[in-house]
Amino acid sequence: MGFLRKITLLLIVSMGISFSIRVTGTLFPLIFKPVFMVKGTILFNAAFILIHVIFWLVFYREYILKTKKTLKEICMAAVIGSFAVSVIYLRKLPFVFGMTVQFPDFMIHPFYDAVVPLIGSVSHLVFFAAFKRALSDDEKPWLNRSVSAMIMGIGLFVFFHVMVLFNFIAFRQFEWLEHMPRGIAVGTVPLVIAAVLSMLYFYFRFYRFLDFENSTGK
Protein backbone atom coordinates (compact mmCIF):
# COMPACT_ATOMS: atom_id res chain seq x y z
CA MET A 1 0.00 0.00 0.00
CA GLY A 2 2.96 2.27 -0.62
CA PHE A 3 1.19 4.41 -3.20
CA LEU A 4 -1.84 4.81 -0.91
CA ARG A 5 0.49 6.17 1.79
CA LYS A 6 2.01 8.68 -0.63
CA ILE A 7 -1.32 9.90 -2.00
CA THR A 8 -2.69 10.21 1.56
CA LEU A 9 0.22 12.46 2.48
CA LEU A 10 -0.29 14.54 -0.67
CA LEU A 11 -3.97 14.85 0.19
CA ILE A 12 -3.19 16.07 3.72
CA VAL A 13 -0.85 18.77 2.40
CA SER A 14 -3.03 19.91 -0.50
CA MET A 15 -6.21 19.91 1.57
CA GLY A 16 -4.59 21.97 4.32
CA ILE A 17 -3.30 24.55 1.84
CA SER A 18 -6.53 24.66 -0.19
CA PHE A 19 -8.74 25.38 2.79
CA SER A 20 -6.21 27.84 4.21
CA ILE A 21 -6.59 29.75 0.94
CA ARG A 22 -10.37 29.53 1.23
CA VAL A 23 -10.43 30.85 4.79
CA THR A 24 -7.97 33.63 3.92
CA GLY A 25 -10.10 34.61 0.94
CA THR A 26 -13.21 34.70 3.11
CA LEU A 27 -11.62 36.92 5.75
CA PHE A 28 -9.61 39.10 3.35
CA PRO A 29 -11.42 38.97 -0.03
CA LEU A 30 -9.48 41.87 -1.56
CA ILE A 31 -6.33 39.72 -1.60
CA PHE A 32 -7.86 37.58 -4.32
CA LYS A 33 -9.14 40.35 -6.57
CA PRO A 34 -6.13 40.33 -9.00
CA VAL A 35 -6.64 37.96 -11.91
CA PHE A 36 -3.34 36.14 -11.31
CA MET A 37 -4.48 35.32 -7.75
CA VAL A 38 -7.81 34.03 -9.05
CA LYS A 39 -6.07 31.85 -11.63
CA GLY A 40 -3.54 30.58 -9.07
CA THR A 41 -6.35 29.63 -6.69
CA ILE A 42 -8.22 27.81 -9.45
CA LEU A 43 -5.09 25.85 -10.36
CA PHE A 44 -4.35 24.86 -6.80
CA ASN A 45 -7.95 23.89 -6.06
CA ALA A 46 -7.98 21.79 -9.23
CA ALA A 47 -4.78 20.05 -8.10
CA PHE A 48 -6.31 19.41 -4.68
CA ILE A 49 -9.53 17.97 -6.08
CA LEU A 50 -7.59 15.71 -8.48
CA ILE A 51 -5.49 14.40 -5.59
CA HIS A 52 -8.71 13.84 -3.63
CA VAL A 53 -10.23 11.81 -6.48
CA ILE A 54 -7.03 9.79 -6.93
CA PHE A 55 -6.97 9.08 -3.20
CA TRP A 56 -10.47 7.63 -3.31
CA LEU A 57 -9.68 5.50 -6.35
CA VAL A 58 -6.52 4.11 -4.74
CA PHE A 59 -8.23 3.75 -1.35
CA TYR A 60 -10.96 1.72 -3.04
CA ARG A 61 -8.54 -0.48 -4.97
CA GLU A 62 -5.77 -1.00 -2.43
CA TYR A 63 -7.67 -0.93 0.85
CA ILE A 64 -11.40 -1.52 0.53
CA LEU A 65 -11.20 -4.33 -2.03
CA LYS A 66 -8.49 -6.05 0.04
CA THR A 67 -9.72 -5.56 3.60
CA LYS A 68 -13.36 -4.38 3.49
CA LYS A 69 -15.07 -6.02 0.52
CA THR A 70 -18.48 -5.68 2.14
CA LEU A 71 -18.11 -1.89 1.81
CA LYS A 72 -17.16 -1.83 -1.88
CA GLU A 73 -20.57 -0.63 -3.13
CA ILE A 74 -20.81 2.15 -0.52
CA CYS A 75 -17.21 3.16 -1.19
CA MET A 76 -17.84 3.24 -4.94
CA ALA A 77 -20.75 5.61 -4.32
CA ALA A 78 -18.32 7.90 -2.46
CA VAL A 79 -15.86 7.64 -5.37
CA ILE A 80 -18.59 8.65 -7.82
CA GLY A 81 -19.56 11.52 -5.52
CA SER A 82 -15.96 12.73 -5.54
CA PHE A 83 -15.86 12.58 -9.36
CA ALA A 84 -19.11 14.55 -9.63
CA VAL A 85 -17.84 17.28 -7.30
CA SER A 86 -14.52 17.48 -9.15
CA VAL A 87 -16.36 18.70 -12.26
CA ILE A 88 -17.21 21.96 -10.43
CA TYR A 89 -13.50 22.68 -9.91
CA LEU A 90 -12.04 21.29 -13.13
CA ARG A 91 -14.42 23.10 -15.48
CA LYS A 92 -12.78 26.39 -14.38
CA LEU A 93 -9.40 25.35 -15.77
CA PRO A 94 -10.03 26.58 -19.36
CA PHE A 95 -10.35 30.13 -17.97
CA VAL A 96 -6.85 29.86 -16.50
CA PHE A 97 -5.36 29.00 -19.90
CA GLY A 98 -7.50 31.42 -21.92
CA MET A 99 -9.49 28.61 -23.54
CA THR A 100 -13.19 28.30 -24.31
CA VAL A 101 -14.72 24.89 -23.70
CA GLN A 102 -18.40 24.06 -24.17
CA PHE A 103 -19.52 21.86 -21.30
CA PRO A 104 -22.88 20.06 -21.27
CA ASP A 105 -25.66 22.33 -20.04
CA PHE A 106 -26.35 20.28 -16.89
CA MET A 107 -22.71 20.65 -15.77
CA ILE A 108 -22.80 24.43 -15.84
CA HIS A 109 -26.29 24.87 -14.41
CA PRO A 110 -26.34 26.47 -10.92
CA PHE A 111 -28.53 23.59 -9.74
CA TYR A 112 -25.59 21.23 -10.33
CA ASP A 113 -23.38 23.37 -8.08
CA ALA A 114 -26.08 23.58 -5.42
CA VAL A 115 -27.00 19.89 -5.29
CA VAL A 116 -23.97 17.78 -6.26
CA PRO A 117 -21.68 18.80 -3.34
CA LEU A 118 -24.50 17.91 -0.93
CA ILE A 119 -24.99 14.51 -2.54
CA GLY A 120 -21.22 13.95 -2.52
CA SER A 121 -20.93 14.79 1.18
CA VAL A 122 -23.88 12.56 2.08
CA SER A 123 -22.32 9.65 0.16
CA HIS A 124 -19.08 10.13 2.12
CA LEU A 125 -20.99 10.41 5.39
CA VAL A 126 -22.79 7.11 4.72
CA PHE A 127 -19.50 5.45 3.83
CA PHE A 128 -17.65 6.53 6.98
CA ALA A 129 -20.57 5.54 9.20
CA ALA A 130 -20.35 2.05 7.69
CA PHE A 131 -16.54 2.10 7.78
CA LYS A 132 -16.59 2.83 11.51
CA ARG A 133 -18.80 -0.20 12.18
CA ALA A 134 -16.50 -2.38 10.06
CA LEU A 135 -13.21 -1.46 11.79
CA SER A 136 -11.19 -4.46 12.85
CA ASP A 137 -9.54 -4.82 16.26
CA ASP A 138 -6.20 -3.89 14.67
CA GLU A 139 -7.67 -0.74 13.13
CA LYS A 140 -9.66 0.55 16.09
CA PRO A 141 -6.72 1.90 18.17
CA TRP A 142 -5.56 3.91 15.16
CA LEU A 143 -8.78 4.88 13.45
CA ASN A 144 -11.79 4.66 15.76
CA ARG A 145 -11.62 8.23 17.11
CA SER A 146 -10.41 9.70 13.83
CA VAL A 147 -13.29 8.14 11.88
CA SER A 148 -15.67 9.72 14.40
CA ALA A 149 -13.91 13.04 13.78
CA MET A 150 -14.30 12.55 10.02
CA ILE A 151 -18.01 11.88 10.45
CA MET A 152 -18.33 15.10 12.44
CA GLY A 153 -16.38 17.07 9.82
CA ILE A 154 -18.43 15.73 6.93
CA GLY A 155 -21.61 16.36 8.92
CA LEU A 156 -20.65 20.02 9.18
CA PHE A 157 -20.07 20.18 5.43
CA VAL A 158 -23.51 18.61 4.86
CA PHE A 159 -24.88 21.50 6.95
CA PHE A 160 -22.96 24.03 4.83
CA HIS A 161 -24.23 22.50 1.60
CA VAL A 162 -27.81 22.53 2.90
CA MET A 163 -27.39 26.26 3.58
CA VAL A 164 -26.17 26.79 0.01
CA LEU A 165 -29.05 24.73 -1.41
CA PHE A 166 -31.62 26.55 0.72
CA ASN A 167 -30.22 29.90 -0.43
CA PHE A 168 -30.47 28.75 -4.05
CA ILE A 169 -34.06 27.54 -3.69
CA ALA A 170 -35.20 30.59 -1.70
CA PHE A 171 -33.55 33.30 -3.79
CA ARG A 172 -32.91 31.55 -7.12
CA GLN A 173 -29.30 32.61 -6.80
CA PHE A 174 -26.31 30.32 -6.35
CA GLU A 175 -23.60 31.46 -3.96
CA TRP A 176 -20.82 29.53 -2.27
CA LEU A 177 -20.78 29.88 1.49
CA GLU A 178 -17.83 32.31 1.38
CA HIS A 179 -19.71 34.53 -1.10
CA MET A 180 -22.84 34.85 1.01
CA PRO A 181 -23.53 38.00 3.08
CA ARG A 182 -20.47 38.98 5.13
CA GLY A 183 -21.99 37.98 8.46
CA ILE A 184 -22.73 34.43 7.29
CA ALA A 185 -19.44 34.00 5.39
CA VAL A 186 -17.24 35.16 8.28
CA GLY A 187 -19.47 33.71 10.98
CA THR A 188 -19.13 30.19 9.60
CA VAL A 189 -15.32 30.34 9.31
CA PRO A 190 -14.77 28.74 12.76
CA LEU A 191 -17.09 25.88 11.75
CA VAL A 192 -15.24 25.43 8.44
CA ILE A 193 -11.92 25.30 10.29
CA ALA A 194 -13.32 22.77 12.79
CA ALA A 195 -14.67 20.61 9.95
CA VAL A 196 -11.41 20.64 7.99
CA LEU A 197 -9.28 19.89 11.05
CA SER A 198 -11.56 16.97 11.92
CA MET A 199 -11.16 15.56 8.42
CA LEU A 200 -7.41 16.14 8.38
CA TYR A 201 -7.16 14.30 11.69
CA PHE A 202 -8.59 11.19 10.05
CA TYR A 203 -6.25 11.38 7.08
CA PHE A 204 -3.26 11.91 9.36
CA ARG A 205 -4.18 8.94 11.56
CA PHE A 206 -4.84 6.81 8.48
CA TYR A 207 -1.43 7.76 7.11
CA ARG A 208 0.19 6.82 10.41
CA PHE A 209 -1.72 3.53 10.43
CA LEU A 210 -0.49 2.71 6.92
CA ASP A 211 3.02 3.63 8.02
CA PHE A 212 2.71 1.25 10.97
CA GLU A 213 1.35 -1.53 8.77
CA ASN A 214 4.22 -1.05 6.34
CA SER A 215 6.86 -1.09 9.10
CA THR A 216 5.47 -4.34 10.53
CA GLY A 217 5.27 -5.97 7.09
CA LYS A 218 1.52 -6.50 7.17
CB atoms within 10 A of CB 44: 14
The whole-angstrom separation of Cα 7 and Cα 192 is 23
The pTM assigned to this predicted structure is 0.93
Beta carbons of 148 and 132 less than 8 angstroms apart: yes
Q: What CA–CA distance (Å, rounded) separates 17 from 20?
A: 5
Cα dist from 96 to 15, 23, 106, 148, whole Å: 21, 22, 22, 38
Distances (CA, A) of 72 to 63, 66, 78, 129, 209: 10, 10, 10, 14, 20
**pLDDT at residue 146 greater than cutoff 70:** yes
49-72 residue pLDDT tens: 999 999 999 999 999 999 999 999
Q: What pLDDT sits at residue 66?
A: 93
Nearest to 39 by CA among 84, 111, 99, 104: 99
Considering the chain, what is the average pLDDT of its residues? 94
Whether the predicted pLDDT of 216 surpasses 80: no
Give tens-digit pLDDT for 87-119: 999 999 999 998 888 888 988 899 999 999 999
In this predicted structure, the answer to whether residue 218 has a pLDDT above a threshold of 80 is no
pLDDT digits (tens, 9 = 90+) for 116-138: 999 999 999 999 999 999 999 99
Angle between helices 2-27 and 35-58 (to 10 degrees): 150
Tally of domains within the chain: 1
pLDDT of residue 174: 85
- Domain assignment of residue 127, given as a range: 2-215
